[in-house]
Amino acid sequence: MAGASRGVGRGLARALGEAAAAVIVTARSSETGPRTEMRPESIEDTARLVDAAGGHGHHYLCDHRSERATDSMVHWVLRRFGRIDVAACSVWSGNEGYDGERYPDGAGWGTPFWRRSAEPYLGFLQAGPLPALLLARAVAPSMVAARTGLIALVSFGTEDYLGDVFYDSAKAATNRLALAFGQDLAPYGVTALGLSPGFVATERAQDLGQDERATEGPLYAGRALAALAADPDIAARAGAVLHAGDLARIYGFTDADGTQPERFRVGP
């Protein structure tokens, strides 16, 4: 689970733990090293939550913006465990430095593109789409050889404009990667797709006082992924961007509080 030290990635890891899976938790934040934005969450924390949920948690420190680091992590996993059944990328660093009102460049959420410097744009692409590409290309060879596997890219539905040009563009790029991966991998028995949660009550949202706007917890998307991974007809969903709320009504799972939230609008 890439990007699983906190947020939606942690929810994905926990839900697979509920399914008794061995889950490798990867991200940049560790108890033994630097943590992004000095936040308290770590990959070790998430691995312990996987154990508590009934799975087997393992942690690996990895900067998923680096091709070399991502390849090294995948090679380690294959050497130790022999195969990768599910690879999910929830890496998103586009909100680093956002204080609830302003990004580091001084722009607020939704600032018109002609009033904003273009310099941060590359950073947004490196915040999500690039890690998704690097993880998929690293795990694809082993899945293709086995002719089975699921690659899930966590993003957000981009049927409509999301309200911020950089955020929208990055999420749309991730969703397009899911479509492309799905097309390229389908002939080899491997399924790639996009997974879209709603507005999630992540640790960051809570710290910024935005959790009241949230309609779901991180575990909701995780249970969506677990349901997809267990679906014998998953190949029919290749390339699609699937909403957690829609999947809940198809597969019958609930959020941690027993509800089935529907789609919700985006926010920073």
- Tens of pLDDT, residue by residue over 41-66, are 999 999 999 999 999 999 999 999 99
* d(C-alpha 6, C-alpha 82), whole Å: 26
Q: Could you tell me the CA-to-CA distances from 42 to 9, 29, 33, 49, 137 in Å, in that order?
A: 12, 5, 10, 11, 25
Q: Is the pTM of this model over 0.75?
A: yes
Report whether pLDDT(267) > 70. Answer: no
Higher pLDDT, 201 or 229: 229
Q: What is the mean pLDDT of residues 248-265?
A: 88
- Tens of pLDDT, residue by residue over 94-127, are 888 888 788 988 999 999 999 999 999 999 999 9
Nearest to 36 by CA among 169, 197, 204: 204
Q: What's the chain's average pLDDT? A: 93
Residue 180 one-letter amino acid: A
Report whether pLDDT(170) > 90. Answer: yes
Parallel, antiparallel, or unpaired: how do β-strands 150-154 and 191-196 relate? parallel
